[in-house]
Amino acid sequence: MSQLDYASLAKTFEIYLEDHQLKGDPDTLYAPIRYINRMGGKRIRPVFLLMAYNQWHEDISPALPAALALEYFHNFSLMHDDIMDEAALRRGIETVHIKFGRNLAILSGDAMLIKCFELLLEAGRKNNTGSAICSAMSSAALIICEGQQMDMDFEHFDSPSEKDYIEMIRRKTACLLGTCLKIGSLLAGASAEVADILYKYGENIGIAFQVRDDILDVFGDSKLTGKQTGGDILRGKKNFLYVHAYNSLSSSEQDNFTKAYTAASSTGDINFILEKYKSLNVETYANQIQQHYFKQAVESIDSLSFLNISTLKSFSNDLMSRDH
Amino acid sequence: MSQLDYASLAKTFEIYLEDHQLKGDPDTLYAPIRYINRMGGKRIRPVFLLMAYNQWHEDISPALPAALALEYFHNFSLMHDDIMDEAALRRGIETVHIKFGRNLAILSGDAMLIKCFELLLEAGRKNNTGSAICSAMSSAALIICEGQQMDMDFEHFDSPSEKDYIEMIRRKTACLLGTCLKIGSLLAGASAEVADILYKYGENIGIAFQVRDDILDVFGDSKLTGKQTGGDILRGKKNFLYVHAYNSLSSSEQDNFTKAYTAASSTGDINFILEKYKSLNVETYANQIQQHYFKQAVESIDSLSFLNISTLKSFSNDLMSRDH
The pLDDT value given to residue A265: 79
Residues of chain A in contact with residue B27, where contact means CB-CB under 8 angstroms, are none
The dihedrals phi and psi of B100, each to the nearest 5 degrees, come to -110, -10
Model confidence at B175, pLDDT cuts 50, 70, 90, reads very high
Q: How far is CA B287 from the centre of its chain?
A: 19
Q: Chain A residue with minimal CA distance to B152?
A: A103
First-residue to last-residue Cα distance in chain A: 31
- Please compute Rg for chain A using Cα positions: 20
Cβ-based burial of A163 (10 A; exposed 0-12, middle 13-18, buried ≥19): exposed
Greatest pairwise CA separation for chain A in angstroms: 62
Those residues of chain B whose CB sits closer than 8 Å to some CB in chain A are 24-26, 28-29, 80, 83-84, 103-104, 106-107, 109-111, 113-115, 117-118, 121, 124-125, 128, 130-131, 134-135, 137-139, 141-142, 145-146, 148-150, 152-153
Residues of B in contact with A121 (CB under 8 A): 131, 134-135, 138
CA distance B144 to A120: 20
* Residues A202/A194, Cβ–Cβ less than 8 Å: no
- Does A266 have pLDDT greater than 90? no
Residues of chain A with Cβ-Cβ distance to B80 below 8 Å are 106-107, 110
DSSP state string for A52-107:
HHHTT-S--GGGHHHHHHHHHHHHHHHHHHHHHTT--EETTEE-HHHHH-HHHHHH
Chain A residues in contact with chain B using a Cβ-Cβ cutoff of 8 Å: 24-26, 28-29, 80, 83-84, 103-104, 106-107, 109-111, 113-115, 117-118, 121, 124-125, 128, 130-131, 134-135, 137-139, 141-142, 145-146, 148-150, 152-153
Nearest to B178 by CA among B44, B11, B319: B44
pLDDT of residue B211: 97
**Helix B282-300, helix B240-248: angle, nearest 10:** 120
Local structure of residue A223 (DSSP, 8 states): H
Average predicted confidence (pLDDT) for chain B: 94
Tell me which residue in B28, B106, B117 faces A106 most closely, judged by beta carbons.
B106
Write out pLDDT tens, residues A19-44: 999 999 999 999 999 999 999 899 99
Are A171 and A144 a contacting pair, CB within 8 Å?
yes
φ and ψ of A225, to 5 deg: -75, -25
**Position A219 pLDDT exceeds 70:** yes
Span B238-261, mean pLDDT? 96
- Main-chain phi, psi angles of A98, to 5 degrees: -75, -45
Query: Given the DSSP bridges, would you call strands A93-94 and A89-90 parallel, antiparallel or unpaired?
Result: antiparallel
Q: For residues B99 and B35, is the Cβ–Cβ distance under 8 A?
A: yes
In this complex, the residue of A106, A141, A153 whose CB is nearest that of residue B114 is A141
| Region B58-72 average pLDDT | 98
Whole-number pLDDT of residue A1: 66
A111 with B145: Cβ contact below 8 A: yes
For residue A152, list chain B residues with Cβ-Cβ distance below 8 A: 28, 103, 107
SS3 A2: coil
- CA-wise closest residue to A254 among A239, A264, A244: A244
CA distances from B36 to A84, B22, B63 (A): 20, 12, 22
3-state per-residue secondary structure call for chain B: CCCCCHHHHHHHHHHHHHHCCCCCCCHHHCHHHHHHHCCCCCCHHHHHHHHHHHCCCCCCHHHHHHHHHHHHHHHHHHHHHHHHCCCCEECCEECHHHHHCHHHHHHHHHHHHHHHHHHHHHHHHCCCCHHHHHHHHHHHHHHHHHHHHHHHHHCCCCCCCHHHHHHHHHHHHHHHHHHHHHHHHHHHCCCHHHHHHHHHHHHHHHHHHHHHHHHHHHHCCHHHHCCCCCHHHHCCCCCHHHHHHHHHCCHHHHHHHHHHHHHHHHHCCCHHHHHHHHHCCHHHHHHHHHHHHHHHHHHHCHHHCCCCCHHHHHHHHHHHHCCC
Instruction: Give the pLDDT confidence score for residue B226 in this predicted structure.
Output: 73
d(CA A128, CA B235): 49
What's B6-321's CATH class? mainly alpha
- d(CA A81, CA A83) in angstroms, rounded, equals 5
> Is A113's CB within 8 Å of B110's CB?
yes
Q: How far is B95 from chain A (nearest CA, A)?
A: 16
Provide the pLDDT for residue B150. 97
The reported pLDDT for the residue numbered A268 is 77
Nearest CA in chain B to A83: B103
Residue B6's pLDDT band, with cuts at 50, 70 and 90, is very high
Residue A297 has what DSSP assignment? Answer: H
**Of residues B26, B128, B150, nearest to A153 (C-beta):** B26
Mean pLDDT of A120-137: 97
Cα B132 off chain centre by: 22
pLDDT of residue A302: 86
Distance, CA of B215 to CA of B32 (rounded, Å): 32
Asked whether the CA dihedral B98, B100, B101, B102 is positive or negative, the reply is negative
Judge: B111–A142 Cβ closer than 8 Å, yes or no.
Answer: yes
**Contact between A107 and A29 (Cβ < 8 Å):** yes
Q: What pLDDT, on a 0 to 100 scale, did the predictor assign at position B319?
A: 84
Through-space distance between the first and last CA atoms of chain B, rounded to whole angstroms: 31
- At residue A163, the 3 state secondary structure works out as helix
A94 backbone dihedrals φ, ψ, rounded to 5°: -55, 135
How much is the pLDDT for A98? 97
pLDDT digits (tens, 9 = 90+) for B273-309: 999 999 999 999 999 999 999 999 999 898 898 888 8
Mean pLDDT of A151-166: 96
User: What does the H/E/C string look like for A169-189?
Assistant: HHHHHHHHHHHHHHHHHHHHC
Question: In this predicted model, what pLDDT tens digit does every residue of B107-156 receive, in sequence order?
Answer: 999 999 999 999 999 999 999 999 999 999 999 999 999 999 999 999 99
How far, CA to CA in Å, does A171 sit from each of A120, A168, A176, B270? 21, 5, 8, 52
Contact B109, B76 (CB under 8 A): yes
Closest CA to A154 of A136, A167, A144: A167
Three-point CA angle A145, B130, A149, nearest 5°: 5
Report percent pLDDT > 90 for chain B: 82
> Are residues A29 and B107, on separate chains, in Cβ contact within 8 Å?
no
Q: What is the spatial distance between Cα A39 and Cα A95, in angstroms, rounded to a whole number?
A: 9
- Contact call for B113 and A111, based on CB within 8 A: no
Option in A29, A117, A131 nearest B124 (CB) = A131
**Across A86-98, average pLDDT:** 93
**Among B134, B151, B155, B156, the residue to mutate for chain A (most A Cβ within 10 A):** B134
Contact B82, B58 (CB under 8 A): no
How far apart are the CA of A126 and the nearest CA of chain B, in angstroms? 12
Q: Taking the domains of chain A in order of start, what are their residue ranges?
A: 6-321
Q: What is the mean pLDDT of chain A?
A: 94
Q: Does pLDDT of A227 surpass 80?
A: no
Put residue A281 in one of left, alpha, beta given phi > 0 → left and psi -120 to 50 → alpha. left
pLDDT-based confidence at residue A55 (cuts at 50, 70, 90):
very high
**Count of alpha carbons within 13 angstroms of residue A132, beta-carbon side:** 19
B1 band by pLDDT with thresholds 50, 70 and 90: low
Q: Tell me how close the Cα of A228 comes to any Cα of chain B, in angstroms.
A: 27
Beta carbon pairs, A and B, within 8 Å: 119
ipTM: 0.96
Span A268-308, pLDDT tens digits: 789 999 999 999 999 999 999 999 999 999 998 988 988 88
Tell me the average pLDDT across B213-222.
Answer: 90
> Which one of B114, B131, B145 has the shortest CB-CB distance to A130?
B131
Q: Of the given ranges (A50-64, A204-218, B226-240), which has the lowest mean pLDDT?
A: B226-240
% of chain A residues with pLDDT over 90: 82
Test mutation, A76, A110, A122, chain B, max B CBs within 10 A: A110
Nearest chain A residue to B135 by CA distance is A118
Q: To probe the interface with A, which of B122, B142, B155, B164 has the most A CB atoms within 10 Å?
A: B142
* Confidence check: pLDDT of B80 > 90: yes
